[in-house]
Structure 1
Amino acid sequence: MFIISDKFKKIAKTLKLDKPLVIFDMETTGQTIYKDKIIELAYIKIYSDGRVKKDEMILDPQMPISRESTAVHGLSDKDVSSKPTFRKKAQEIWEIFNGCYYSGFNVMNFDLPILRREFIRVGMDFDYSISQIIDCRVIYQHMVPRSLAATYRYYCGKEFRQSHTALGDVEVSAEILVKQLDKYSEIRDLDFINKIHQSPENSYVDSSRKFYWKQGRAYFAFSKYIGVALSEVAKINPKFLKWILTADFSEETKTIVKKALESIKRSY
């Protein structure tokens, strides 16, 4: 069922959509991309003419839901045991998501890789590129200033007068830290601070982090070709990519490599 909403029509008009935009979120059995599964999937699909379709579904992951995840979203094993599996809903979900733009919060680093892996498990090809992603988290990180002056203004409510001295910056940083410790009780725990500093900010192509995005291209994050574009390796050493297809790598990684090899074949 389609609905009409001025709010969503504005999105379609402002972005000049040439294909639908799916804004989505999911709840999962845990936070590990390569092994956890989707248990709830909700979406709003905005078409270029402003029509909107939205829905949500609960899925049986056929694996235990971690206690930590249940504490967040409230869904237990019992809640999902009678629901359809991803395999049963795969075609329907593919028709919703295939060939669209994708948006949400942190979809690039979590939701899309999880969804892609679910499709791989059932033998379906769900492919997307970074040019199709409109991640609210990425936009926020890019557009909201992270400078010392902006941080000082946010936490201390004062304008930062450039001292052009290292000691002046240190004093301002110390004042910011005092305000942060006052504001966030969590960061009074050094273990918590250590944990958040280990959170990766890199944009990986696959959940096993063998490739990462850079300027719209996939680059190697391992082997002697680390930092080299996958498309370049496909040209200069296709045997190496063929070896990956026979070695102990995830099916997701192998799918990415297969596409690179196929792309080279088509170019000749």
Structure 2
Amino acid sequence: MELNVKNPLVFFDLETTGIDMVNDRIVEICILKVFPDGRTEVKTRRVNPTIPIPAQATAIHGITNEDVKDCPTFKEIAKSLVQLIEGCDFAGYNSNKFDLPLLAEEFIRAGIDFDLKKRKFIDVQTIFHKMEQRTLVAAYKFYCDKDLNNAHSAEADTVATYEVLKAQLDRYPELKNDIDFLSDFSAKTRNVDFAGRIVLNDKDVEVFNFGKHRGRPVVEVLETEPGYYAWMMNGDFPLYTKNVLTRIKLGMMVKK
């Protein structure tokens, strides 16, 4: 089944120096762009992460420091990436938990305020786990009856994810071929920030989701304990989380 898309839909996958969204960096990115008329476009870029690639990361994706030493940094390609994905919705495999948060961090580090609030996000892994509970390699075999060669290369994983989603739509009639539906179906959380440090409670109020203030409204904490804002801003939290916290604090100031 071909995807029914209103806006261009970007499937993407990142290969990185590790899994810490605060400190790790992208070494390869692949974007497969699906247009409303069914056309597809694939672009893959190697990226100089500006920090060493650990051996354990190279063992997974096969990319070495030598491979990327002459490649552009993310900051150097950030504007062209924004142009490529402007106005698009997003899809990936485990992307809501890892790839999107790390991509957002890289954009912020590059000095680009890339607003993702109005985008739809489809996580093919979440759909798969709700339906079958397996890995991408198994998903590709299960849904497409193909072996996933070159697993953990950005392009192979990205193309496989695109094919898996189309096969999922063919297999499960209860899945609507609609980006809004698929985005809602594959969402696991009510995160306000990607890392899930701030979430919406059952009353759609922004609350902290960690530490001593877990479950308390952010506005309430910032009013009664003003130093908590500075502690978080100086702490080892993702830049996107800090931006969300700052937005809430500025909103409080406007209302006064």
Scaled by the length of structure 1, the TM-score of the pair is 0.62
Match of 1:139 among 127, 133, 137: 127
Whose helix proportion is higher, 1 or 2?
1
1:77 and 2:65 aligned: yes
- Using CA pairs under 8 Å that are at least 6 residues apart, name the structure with larger relative contact order, 1 or 2: 2
Change (3 A) 1:110 1:145: closer
Change (3 A) 1:72 1:237: closer
Change (3 A) 1:73 1:210: same
User: Following superposition of structure 1 onto structure 2, how do residues 45-84 of structure 1 map, counting pairs within 5 Å?
Assistant: 45-84=33-72
Q: CA RMSD in A?
A: 3.2
What is the rounded CA distance, in whole Å, between the counterparts of 1:127 and 1:244 in structure 2?
25
Q: Which residue of 2 aligns with 1:233?
A: 218
User: In the alignment, is the contact (CA less than 8 A) between 1:99 and 1:128 conserved in 2?
Assistant: no
1:24 and 2:12 aligned: yes
What is the rounded CA distance, in whole Å, between the counterparts of 2:95 and 2:118 in structure 1?
11
Task: Compute the displacement of 1:66 (Å).
Answer: 1.1
User: In the alignment, is the contact (CA less than 8 A) between 2:101 and 2:194 conserved in 1?
Assistant: yes
Give ranges in structure 2 of 5+ residues lacking alignment: 135-187
User: In the alignment, is the contact (CA less than 8 A) between 2:16 and 2:57 conserved in 1?
Assistant: yes
Q: Which residue of 2 aligns with 1:172?
A: none
Task: Compute the displacement of 1:253 (Å).
Answer: 2.1
Give the number of equivalent residue pairs: 197
Match of 1:246 among 230, 235, 251: 230
SS of equivalent to 2:100: helix
Please tell me the residue identity of whatever aligns with 1:246: A
Give ranges in structure 1 of 5+ residues lacking alignment: 1-6, 147-200
SS of equivalent to 2:128: helix
Larger radius of gyration: 1
Q: Which residue of 2 aligns with 1:211?
A: 198
- Identity percentage over the alignment? 29
Cα shift readout 1:72-112 (whole Å, capped 9, x = no counterpart)? 11110000000000010111112223442111100001100
User: Following superposition of structure 1 onto structure 2, how do residues 1-268 of structure 1 map, counting pairs within 5 Å?
Assistant: 10-11=2-3, 13=4, 16-17=5-6, 19-129=7-117, 132-144=120-132, 205-207=193-195, 209-212=196-199, 219-228=207-216, 232-234=217-219, 236=220, 238-239=222-223, 243-247=227-231, 248-249=234-235, 250=237, 251-262=239-250
Task: Compute the displacement of 1:49 (Å).
Answer: 3.4
